[in-house]
């Protein structure tokens, strides 16, 4: 079967090197997938940091921008963290991504490595389900000036300092005052991020097709401060009122130290990430498997 995708880019765990056991395993996995793609008649390139850190020289190395302009498909071999990193970067180019899971959870890298050949052969031929995921734009404003800006696929988290007490946060939605919240922090999560930190803090699961966000307080002082689901067309502003050493993180990849009076403004990105899943994929199958639902229950 002829591949629907002629030029495929491979992305691995580019933050590790082959000096570790994990790195050696990742290198071997990338080579196995690359050789499979060769056999399918695809032109194969490697993301440049992946190629450099893994010591792979058999295939062309491309920057993210080059992948965006030249490739038809991105294959991510790793875990959800690897997919989050490259997904944010690839979103403006509209290149679809497939995740081959070498990590633990695999909510968004859902093709098991042990059976990748069977799944990929079908997907390359056009048998797949396409899934779009929204992104968050966030900026930190200080005295009216933007001092930090980032994009997130999972969440934006405002946290208290490691050694200090609660922070007090003034929250606004579309310019309307919501509440002053005293808590360990506050999470603004996308549907993709609703299975991450927001879930462990008591937030609800949100189906990826829902155009919404969830705002989840972390260990709030007032127990009536509950998670709330908002339309992702809203603009959320969080102001640091009090508390020491507060910080903001964006998919845990980037961090900004905050001062009293700083505002974190969260809006919907105009870009989204395109995921491709194997034919028959279901979000509920993923939840059931990864969250271990029905364990000990006999299906009927």
Strand 212-218 relative to strand 263-278, pairing: unpaired
Render the burial of 1-36: b for 16+ CB within 10 Å, e for the rest: eebebebbbbbbbbebbbeeeebeebbebbeebbeb
69 and 143 housed in the same domain: no
Cβ neighbourhood burial of 291 (10 Å; 0-12, 13-18, 19+): middle
Same domain, 150 and 266: yes
Say how many residues make up the chain.
300
Q: Is residue 277 part of a domain?
A: no
21 confidence band (pLDDT: 50, 70, 90): very low
Question: Domain check: are 38 and 141 in the same one?
Answer: no
pLDDT band at 245, cuts 50/70/90?
Answer: confident
Domain count along the chain: 2
Whether 72 is a known active-site residue: answer no
CATH code, domain carrying 251? 2.60.200.30
The reported pLDDT for the residue numbered 135 is 97
Residue 177 lies in a domain: yes
**Together in a domain, 166 and 262:** yes
**Whether residue 252 sits in one domain with residue 202:** yes
Active-site residue among 49, 80, 110, 131? 80
154 and 117 fall within a common domain: no
User: Could you report the per-residue pLDDT of 175-184, keeping only the tens digit for each?
Assistant: 999 999 999 9
What whole-number distance in Å separates Cα of residue 44 and Cα of residue 31?
11
| DSSP states along 113-148 | GGGHHHHHHHHHTT-EEEEEEEEEEEEEEETTEEEE
Residue 159 lies in a domain: yes
Domain containing 186 equals 135-270
Global pTM reads 0.91
Number of H helices, E strands in the chain: 7, 18
Band the pLDDT of 23: cuts 50, 70, 90.
Answer: low
Confidence check: pLDDT of 296 > 70: no
- Stretch 3-26: mean pLDDT: 74
Tell me the pLDDT of the chain averaged across its residues.
92
């Amino acid at each position: 079967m002829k591949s629907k995708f002629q030029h495929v880019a491979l992305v691995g765990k580019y933050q590790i090197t082959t000096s570790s056991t994990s790195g050696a395993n990742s290198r071997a996995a990338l080579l196995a997938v690359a050789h499979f793609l060769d056999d399918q008649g695809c032109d194969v390139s490697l993301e440049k940091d992946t190629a450099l850190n893994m010591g792979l020289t058999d295939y062309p190395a491309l920057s993210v921008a080059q992948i965006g302009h030249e490739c038809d498909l991105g294959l991510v071999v790793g875990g959800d963290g690897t997919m989050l990193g490259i997904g944010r970067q690839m979103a403006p180019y509209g290149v679809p991504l497939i995740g081959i899971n070498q990590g633990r959870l695999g909510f968004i890298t859902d093709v098991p490595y042990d059976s990748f050949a069977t799944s990929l052969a079908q997907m390359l031929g056009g048998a797949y389900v396409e899934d779009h995921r929204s992104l968050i734009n966030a900026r930190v404003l200080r005295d009216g000036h933007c001092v930090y800006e980032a994009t997130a696929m999972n969440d934006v988290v405002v946290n208290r300092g490691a050694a200090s007490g609660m922070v007090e946060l003034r929250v606004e939605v579309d310019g309307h005052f919501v509440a002053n919240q005293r808590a360990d922090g506050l999470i603004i999560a996308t549907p993709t991020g609703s299975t991450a930190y927001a879930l462990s803090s008591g937030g609800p699961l949100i189906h990826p097709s829902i155009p919404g966000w969830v705002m989840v307080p972390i260990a709030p002082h007032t127990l009536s401060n509950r998670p709330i689901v908002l339309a992702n067309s809203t603009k959320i502003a969080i102001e640091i009122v009090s508390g020491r050493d507060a910080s903001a993180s964006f998919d845990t990849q980037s961090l900004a130290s905050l001062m009293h009076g700083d505002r974190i403004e969260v809006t919907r990105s105009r870009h989204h990430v395109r995921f491709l899943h194997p034919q028959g994929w279901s979000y509920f199958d993923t939840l059931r498997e990864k969250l271990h639902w029905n364990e000990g229950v006999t299906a009927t």
